[in-house]
């Protein structure tokens, strides 16, 4: 059953493997951010809440820019450096000892993930057929959830606030797992390019414009036909009315005939 769900492209399968492993690394650290910064690094909960909110603001604010960069330069060109940026953010967070270090690390991570997932989704869309796309996207998000959940379970059995080195290990593991999609995508040189994406977009745009122009021309032609039909109907009605008026102005045949003289 799983085999029928997998896409036919080997490249797409390799990308899915990278997604699963990087999500596992993300799951190692994501549930324990508050615990790590408050109980291990000594930050107060209010500061950590502001830092988490700052991450959301940065990711949301940069998401449109990330989409524009993917369209302009290609998904592969954008995703490759962002995986390195995400890995760097994990390393910085592992060694962050105060609010400033945590702020810098979380900002770097937010910048990376503002366009990382959208770029990876674009790459996946380019590797599967239209018939496979729905299954591929469903499987992709399933693997993300599976990886995050499995990572959280593993980390939950390992980390200990009385042993800070355990948190150092999971954040370094998170940084390493972000390098796996980088290596996979680096080996796939012909995917996620700007030319193919742009050509597809331009073709779609031309088709939509041509369809819109055809629809507009058809509507104009129908309006012209209706106007001509209305004019012809009005002309025939006017002609009938004019003929009736002329007929009523002439004496009838009975009036023109003289009555016959009676013979006595």
Arithmetic mean of pLDDT, 9-27 = 94
**Bridge partner list, 163:** 160
The tens digit of pLDDT for each residue in 201-259 reads: 545 555 655 555 556 666 667 777 777 677 667 666 666 666 655 555 555 444 455 55
DSSP state of 163: B
pLDDT on residue 197: 44
Phi, psi of 49 (to 5 degrees): -60, -40
Q: What counts of helices (H) and strands (E) characterise the chain? A: 12, 0
Question: What are the phi and psi torsion angles at 48 (to 5°)?
Answer: -65, -40
Tell me the pTM: 0.71
3-state secondary structure of 193: coil
Per-residue pLDDT, 145 = 95
In CATH terms, is domain 8-192 a member of 1.20.1250.20?
yes
What span, in angstroms and rounded, lies between the C-alpha atoms of 64 and 56? 14
Distance CA 117, CA 110 (A): 12
Distance CA 42, CA 38 (A): 5
Q: 131-180: per-residue pLDDT in tens? A: 999 999 999 999 999 999 999 999 999 999 999 999 999 999 999 999 99
DSSP annotation string for 27-67:
HHHGGGHHHIIIIIS---HHHHHHHHHHHHHHHHHHHHHHH
């Amino acid at each position: 059953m799983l085999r029928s769900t997998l896409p036919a492209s080997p490249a797409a399968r390799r990308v899915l493997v990278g997604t699963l492993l990087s999500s596992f690394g993300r799951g190692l650290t994501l549930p324990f951010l508050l615990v790590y910064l408050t109980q291990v690094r000594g930050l107060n909960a209010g500061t950590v809440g502001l830092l988490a909110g700052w991450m959301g603001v940065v990711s949301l604010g940069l998401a449109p820019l990330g989409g524009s960069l993917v369209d302009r330069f290609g998904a592969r060109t954008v995703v490759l450096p962002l995986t390195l940026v995400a890995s760097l953010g994990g390393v910085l967070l592992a060694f962050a000892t105060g609010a400033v270090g945590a702020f810098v690390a979380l900002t770097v991570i937010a910048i990376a993930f503002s366009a990382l997932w959208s770029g990876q989704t674009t790459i996946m869309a380019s590797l599967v057929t239209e018939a496979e796309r729905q299954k591929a996207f469903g499987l992709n998000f399933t693997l993300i959830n599976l990886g995050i959940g499995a990572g959280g379970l593993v980390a939950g059995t390992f980390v200990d606030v009385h042993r800070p080195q355990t948190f150092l290990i999971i954040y370094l593991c998170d940084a390493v797992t972000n390098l796996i999609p980088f290596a996979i995508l680096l080996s796939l040189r012909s995917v996620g390019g700007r030319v193919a994406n742009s050509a597809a977009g331009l073709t779609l745009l031309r088709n939509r414009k041509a369809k819109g122009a055809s629809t507009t021309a058809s509507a104009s032609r129908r309006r012209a036909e209706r106007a001509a039909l209305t004019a012809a109907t009005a002309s025939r009605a006017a002609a009938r009315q004019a003929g009736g008026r002329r007929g009523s102005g002439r004496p009838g045949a009975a009036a023109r005939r003289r009555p016959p003289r009676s013979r006595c």
